[in-house]
Copies of this chain bind each other. A is one copy, B any other.
Amino acid sequence: MTASVPEVRTRREGAAAAIRRSIILGQVEPGQKLREVALAAELGVSRPTLREALLLLTHEGLCEQEPHRGFSVATLDEQAVRDLAETRLTLDRLAAVTIAGDPAKCRELAQAWAAYEAAGHNPDPLAQHLAHVEFHRAMWAASHNDTLTRLWPTVDALSTLVLAQDQVMRGDPGRAVHLHGRIVDAVASGSSDAIEAALNAHTRQSAEEFIASRIQRPHS
């Protein structure tokens, strides 16, 4: 499997990657303003280049922008987390069902799984995050659905926002890997019920646990 590290070919992509990384690592908070002049100086790019990077992240969903009011790190409320879970469930199901019907696609998924299993226990939170996200991207890619490929950056960004805050999942990488193993087994079995159950455990239950953990520890 080709490792799908996004190739940085422009300074705008590099700036976007740096900002994305700081969001993943929690170095900036949801809702935090991102000041163009200071951030451009900090990243060593010109302001128009930074704007292009921030617009990229905004179109994906990691940042939010209002005309004349600037950019900020995106926020997701409880209902938005549930909406993401429901929508992911339906799109993950489409991907999984498409893969289950095709042996070549199943092999691609198995390769993605092997890579995740190898990388998912890494103690570095950034590496864990990237391995997790890469597994899902590879699963969608294995379905060879053009539209899913196009929708992936948005779903990736929303998932990233949740995962960056999700201490439950982050504190137990073994559990995360196990949940994803169940998905792979279900797809390989070809059973719609098994796929549904595995995706449900992965997506809907994880979202509810995340929401519950935030209620116990309100942020502000």
Contacts and interface: CB of A to CB of B under 8 A. Distances in A.
A79 B151 CA distance: 16
Q: Interface size for chain A: under 10, 10 to 19, 20 to 34, or 35 or more residues?
A: 35 or more
Nearest to A84: B147
Interface of A is mostly: helix
Contacts of A61: 150
Contacts of A83: 144-148
Q: Can you tell how many copies of this chain the complex includes?
A: 2
A59 interface: yes
Given A52-B52, A59-B60, A145 B86 contact: yes
28 contacts: A13-B67, A52-B55, A55-B56, A55-B59, A56-B59, A59-B153, A61-B150, A76-B146, A80-B147, A83-B144, A83-B145, A86-B94, A86-B98, A86-B145, A87-B145, A87-B147, A87-B148, A87-B151, A88-B147, A90-B90, A90-B91, A90-B94, A91-B91, A147-B155, A147-B158, A150-B154, A150-B158, A151-B154
